Structures are given as structure tokens and as C-alpha cells.
Chains A and B, each alone.
Chain A
Amino acid sequence: MAPEPSAEFAFEPSPALPGVAGTEGRPIEGIGPWQAAWRRLRRNRIAMASLVVFAAIVACCVAAPLWADQVAHVGPEENNLTGKFERGGKQLYVVTPPPQTKPVGPGWSGRYLLGADKNGRDEMVRLLYGGRNSLFVGFVSALITTVIAVVLGLAGGYFRGRTDLVVRTTFDVIWSFPVLLLGIALGTALAIGGLHLGPIDIQGGSLWIPTLVIGVIYVPYLGRPIRGQVLSLREKEFVEAAVAQGNGALRIMFGELLPNLASTILVFGTLIVANNILTEAALSFLGAGVQLPTPSWGNMIGEGVNLLSTAPHLTIVPGLAITLTVLALNVFGDGLRDALDPRAKVRLR
């Protein structure tokens, strides 16, 4: 749900001019545009802090099995409905017996640090594993989107004519589909039966289903700006020169054009990952994404909203996790954009 520049207007951050670093009063050196950008980024403390936060979150989630084994001693899908555990010297029910049936809340103990869910599963363990799954879907789908968008954008923008017509129309069709509805429809359809097309054989409950679905539905989001940029870059002299030198189309596309697209891709990259994490959460919440009992932050919220009265932590915790992660990504992405685009002279310090 983030920016979608229309196809007609190419978004074209020009590479940094050497010498901008000279505002500091140092002698003007001939540094390349990427190094200049990197320096600008490094100086942006808030952006770097967000990157650290994001990396920390990813690290924690990757280390989920460590937590599960060493601290909590349960897996993410292990139920514990009738048991008790020790916290603060007392024996507590994981899930109190009827008529109350209330899962235990957060507290200081290795097990059930963030409390338990309705089935007596350890919420912290599920949060970490859920994070793994949500981040997997978010990243890999972003990768899929990027690859497809770049290939299609390059092809359409470079070859023009009929190829461009096909590419442009594909983008139009996918984009005009109400995005969430397409995601729900595909997610629901595939979740039940899986995907069995030729060599591809994915089971219904696999993480690859939401990954592929989200990856495909956001292709136009990056594809259109790429295509627009390629369309305008194509007119530049260096491309003419490359053609005159007798370079083939593939060489030009991936050798000359692609590097110039790099900053666009980078800038959109963080946006797409952030967006996809939110989309995965929404789809899983509605039941069309990651299928329970496999945890993901979105479907954990879906389970939690049914217990807001007795166990609000089940809803609040995964939501905070999503917000924090996406916020960190967005802030970093902002910093990245600022670093790559020297036109914005005034930056948030």
C-alpha cells in the first residue's frame, strides 16, 4: 500500500555527483557515487540504528531453535493443555481448567516467558518461529518480486513494441486486480489443494504458497518504475554507444542498464520487504496465508483476537513484533533513499 508511481513517469535518481562530500570543507576527492552514498548512510545514525534493530530481530528469529531447546524446552507446536509449570516458586496452570480456561500470561520464567496460547503452547517460542516464517515469506517473496519485475521491466522497456505491450498489460492486469482479494483468492485456493503444475509440486500447507502468491501480486509495484526507467535510460548515449559497439540485447540489458537500476531496486527493496511482511500478516490473519498450526505473526494475531478478554498478550505481542520490524525497515529504507538521492538536501538528522 506504499507509493506506486504511475507507469508514465520514470523515477530516476541520478548517481551522486562526485564532490558533494566536499560540503564538509575537506579537499574535493574523486570518490565514486556508491562510496559517497555509503558514507552518507553511515552518518545517518537513526537509519543505522534501525538497521541494527532489524538485524537483531532477524538474528533472534533465526536463533529460535536455540531458545526452544535451551530455555523453553518445548517446540512451537507442542500443546500443553493440562500441565503445570513453575514460576516465581509457584506451580501455575499453563491453561486453567474449566470453567475459566485461561492461558497463563507473561512473566519471568524460562518457559512461557510471554505466556501461553489457547493450546498451552509457549508464546515466546511461537513468536520466534513465527518471526522466522513471516520473515522468510517477506524476504523470499520480495526476492521473487524483484527478479520477475526486473526481468519483465527490462524486457518491456528495452524491446518495446509487442513485448512491451505484453509486459505493460500484464502489469496492468495484476495491478488492477484488488490486491488483497487476489491474494486471498489465490491463497485460499492453493492452501487447500497445493500447487501441482508440471514440475512444481507444492503441498497445501507449505510456506512456499503464500511466498509465491505475495511475490507475484506485487510484481507491478516494482515492475512499472523499472520499466519506466529503462524506457528513459534507453535513449541515453551510453546505450547507443553500446549498440554501436555491437553488443547483444542481453549484454546491454544486464551489463549496462541493470547497474543503473541498482539504486531504484535498492530503494524499492526495503519498501517491498516491509510491504510483503504486512501483506503476509494480513493474509495469514484472514486464513489465506501461512496455515495454522504453523505459526506466523499474522495468524498468531488471528488466534489472539478470539481471546482478547482473557489473554490480550496473545494479540498485542505479535502485533508489536510486526510493527517494530516494519518500522525498522522503513526507517532504514528512508535513510537509504536519502543516501542514494543527493537532491534532497535537507535530511532528518
Chain B
Amino acid sequence: MARFAVRRLINMAFVLFAISVVTFLIFYVFPGTDTKAQVQRIAGRSSNDATRAQVKKDYGFDRPVYVQYARLVEKTANGSLVSYSNQTNVRDEIVRGIPATASLVIGAAVIWTFFGVLFGVLSAVYVGRWPDRVLTVLSMIGISLPVFWVGALLLYYLTDRIQLFPPGGYVRLTEDPWGWFTHLILPWFTLSILFIGFYSRLLRSNILDTINEDYVRTARAKGLSERRVLVRHVLRNALIPIVTLFGLDFGAAIGGGAILTESIFSLQGVGQYAAQSVGSLDLPPVMGTTLYAAFFIVLLSAVVDIAYAYLDPRIRLNA
């Protein structure tokens, strides 16, 4: 068990290293984003060769590639990474954006888990009948909608045309709990639709699969009530893959998968910060946010795997 965990952690560290290298290279190799472009961007429109040479020297762009990479990583590690475009500290900016991203993702996760499980169970229990059909149709539509499209339409029609909700932005929970809540309703809804659709269908099909397993038949034969069978045997097993996926999806969303929702609703979270930085060819925030996001994804994936191995001995022994 411990060996398994240790191996996962080593793997995690290597993955983060590889991601940092890839991110760095994207801003080194391609002519649109390489150091020449970055120097031009920093030095500005009216700069001459002398200014640009000065910028190149001061920012270390004249050093060999591995030195540049090392310095970047060093700065990321000790929190002194500074944006090229407005010289703000990247770590501070990420920390500033975390409450918005966390509120969005955690809230959406609660919503999507609750409704996903609810709809999945309902669908499975009433399988073939109209609640199942309706929910299936809704779920299918839910996973086919472009998230940003839904968000943009909701934002316009419900905050501008009819001013039911506040028009974007994030209010801190500590400042104004009600404001925090009203500002997040539409983003939560937008982000959850996809996952509710997906998880409800997955749960439905898992339940239906499990229901036909032998051990369920045994449980019924033993005379247990349908409800008991459903909850204790079927649901527990049907939920296992969902838990895995939840861990991965949550990690990905916290990491920045909620980029689109944050951008549309101007929540100024980490995802939006990352997207804006890529747009301005600003490597330090991109590096910072990418590693931050990747860290979450990798961590949660490792946690899920370890927990899974702990719960299911077969995995442990096979691995």
C-alpha cells in the first residue's frame, strides 16, 4: 500500500515537472509567443533597439534556454514570480482569484452531485417510464450544450433584458453573503448543466448494470426490501466509478476547467486570470496558473487512485 502511494507521488512530481517544461517551451519555440515576441511586448510600441536590448538583459531573455527555465521555476517555487505585463506578483494574483474559483466550483460540484445522483436514481428506478424519458432527454441536451453559449445567453437575458440577477462579477462571501449567492447562481447553473447530464446518465447505466449482478439477486432472494437492496448494494457499487470521475472532474474544474464560465461572468477567478494571461503572452502567470491547476488535477487523481486501491483490494494486488 505504501509502495503504491509512494510510486504515485513520484509519478505526480514527474508529471508536474514535465508540464512546466511543456509550458515553458510553448513560450519559447513558437514565433508568436517566443522570447522575441515577449520582449517586444514588454518594451512596448515606441521602444528602440537599445530599450529592447535592455529589457532582454534585465529579464534574462539573453541567457541560455535551460537557465531561463530554471529561473522561472525557481521564482515559481519561492513565490516571487512577477507578471511581465503589469508587474504584479503571480502568486498574490492567484491567491486573490482562488475564492471566486473555489466558490464557483465547490458550489457547482454540490449542485451537480446532488442533482446528478438524484436524476440518475430516479431515471433508474422509473426506467422506461416517462420520468426516465424526460430526464434522459434533459440529460442528453445538457451534455450537448456549449457551456459558454448558455452562459452568454443567460447573462444577457436574465441580467440585462430582465434584471433578475446581477450582471456578473464576484462578491466576497465575507463582505456580503447574499450578494455572493446571487452573483453565483447563474454561473453555478451554467457550469453544472453539463455535469448533471453526464453524471445522471452514468449513474443510471451503472445502476442498471449492477441491478442485474448476481449479488443483487442474492440479496433479493434473501428477502431484503427493495429499498435496502437499492441503497445498500446497488447504489454503493454503482457510485464507485462516479466517485472516481468526480475526483478527476473536480480537480480539473478547480484547476481551471471553469475558465469559460469565469470569463463570461467576469468572476475574476484563477481560470479567467489564466485565459487573460495567455492572450497577452504573459508567461509568468501562465506558468503559475498552469502548475497550480495541474497540481490540483494530479493531486486529486492520485488521492482517488490511492483511496480506490485502499477500498478495492483487487486493484492493489493487480497494480
A residues lining the B interface (CB < 8 Å): 1-6, 8-9, 169, 172-173, 175-181, 184-186, 188-196, 204, 274, 278, 281-282, 285-288, 298, 301, 305, 308-309, 312, 315-316, 319, 322-323, 326-327, 329-331, 334, 343-346, 348-349
Contacts and interface: CB of A to CB of B under 8 A. Distances in A.
B252 interface: yes
Contacts of A178: 252, 255-257, 259, 274, 290, 293-294, 297
Interface in B155-175: 156, 160
A308 B136 CA distance: 31
B22 interface: yes
Contacts of B259: 178, 180-181, 184
B260 A180 contact: yes
Interface string B31-65: 11100010000000000000000000000000000
A176 B301 contact: yes
Contacts of B140: 327, 330-331, 334
Contact of B15 (A176, A305, A349): A176
Contact of A301 (B146, B156, B160): B146
B262 to A, nearest CB: 11
B241 interface: yes
Contact of B252 (A179, A192, A316, A323): A179
Contacts, number: 183
Contacts of A4: 245, 248
A189 B290 contact: no
B134 to A, nearest CB: 12
Given A1-B194, A6-B301, A330-B140, 10 more contacts: A1-B195, A6-B304, A176-B15, A176-B301, A184-B259, A281-B149, A323-B141, A327-B141, A334-B140, A344-B208
A298 B148 CA distance: 10
29 contacts: A1-B194, A1-B257, A4-B245, A4-B248, A172-B15, A173-B19, A176-B294, A177-B22, A177-B290, A178-B274, A181-B259, A181-B275, A188-B33, A192-B37, A274-B144, A278-B146, A281-B146, A285-B146, A305-B156, A308-B153, A308-B160, A309-B160, A327-B140, A330-B140, A344-B205, A344-B209, A345-B208, A346-B128, A348-B132
Nearest to B286: A185
Contacts of B263: 286
Contact of A349 (B128, B143, B274, B308): B128
B319 interface: yes
B305 interface: yes
B110 interface: no
A192 B106 CA distance: 36
A194 to B, nearest CB: 8
B225 to A, nearest CB: 21
Contacts of B260: 180, 282, 285-286
Nearest to A304: B152
A282 B156 CA distance: 18
A181 B285 CA distance: 12
5 smallest A-B Cβ distances: which pairs?
A: A192-B32, A193-B31, A193-B32, A319-B149, A327-B144
Contact of B275 (A8, A184, A305, A346): A184
Contacts of A278: 144, 146
B212 to A, nearest CB: 6
A118 to B, nearest CB: 16
Contact of A330 (B37, B143, B244, B279): B143
Contacts of B144: 274, 278, 322-323, 326-327, 329-330
A326 B18 CA distance: 34
B32 A181 contact: no
Interface in B170-203: 194-195, 198, 202
Contact of B145 (A173, A196, A316, A323): A323
Given A8-B319, A315-B149, A173 B15 contact: yes
Contacts of A3: 198, 202, 245
